[in-house]
Amino acid sequence: MNTSAPPSTVLHLHDVTRTYQSGSTTLTALDRITLGCQRGSWTAVMGPSGSGKSTLLNCAAGLDSPDTGQVHLDGRDIAGLGDDVLTRMRRTDIGFVFQQFNLVAALTATQNVMLPLRLAGRKDAGAVAVDALSTLGLGSHLDHKPRELSGGQQQRVAIARALATEPSILFADEPTGALDSASAGTVLDVLRELVDERSQTIVMVTHDPAAAARADHVAFLRDGRLVTTLSGADTGRIAATLAELETLR
């Protein structure tokens, strides 16, 4: 069966199942998930605790492997890639942003952003890093270390670092989870701009309905299953859908 996706689809999960074995018990963390993300779209992934959101992100980013099913990134089945190719792909084709920013404390903003560029062997790492930081409004904070930056600024450095290699897709795991609402708003504005103006593709796990409302689509998981997807939904509708899933547990 040909499960490859149309060209504008950056990420396509087809019938993905991931189980974990604990003694004699099998836990199904992802249960036959099929999900596509088009270029220049922003998909939020929501669901109750333990519903499979992190597992989905990890399988989609090639950090974990499904038991069955396929993950296509830019049309390539990532299960079929060797370790070397997969490592290179993770360095250059995939960006990752985490709740806790994960910046290197001893390095300046510019040096942090240069890291993945250096790993990719880029000779222009310094210039590209300055450009990426300037685009995210941090042109006057290039030499600041993480402790000299606010949470929102640190997250913007992390986003600049994730995007420096111009990845096809940006995965964000609770990117606003550690931020106050004003900083969260700025970070979400940055993500929206990246989608609208640079056709960046984003997949974001969040518990916050207001953050999910900034995305184009919201995929809701429960017990490892994709139960529904909303498009263009507002905060109230997203919160109500999530509350319904929580009470069904």
Ligand X SMILES: Nc1ncnc2c1ncn2[C@@H]1O[C@H](COP(=O)(O)OP(=O)(O)OP(=O)(O)O)[C@@H](O)[C@H]1O
- Chain residues binding ligand X by CB under 6 A are 20, 27, 29, 47, 49-55
Least spacing, CB of residue 245 vs ligand X, in Å = 11
Least spacing, CB of residue 173 vs ligand X, in Å = 8
Least spacing, CB of residue 49 vs ligand X, in Å = 3
Residues whose CB falls within 8 Å of the CB of residue 51, separated by 6 or more in sequence, listed in order: 221, 222, 223, 224, 245
Nearest residue (CB) to ligand X, 66 versus 116: 66
Nearest residue (CB) to ligand X, 59 versus 103: 59
With beta carbons less than 8 A apart as the criterion, state whether 35 and 205 touch: no
Least spacing, CB of residue 177 vs ligand X, in Å = 10
Nearest residue (CB) to ligand X, 58 versus 108: 58
CA nearest neighbour of 93 among 205, 218, 201, 228: 201
Distance CA 57, CA 175 (A): 13
Nearest residue (CB) to ligand X, 96 versus 138: 96
Least spacing, CB of residue 88 vs ligand X, in Å = 25
Nearest residue (CB) to ligand X, 97 versus 109: 97
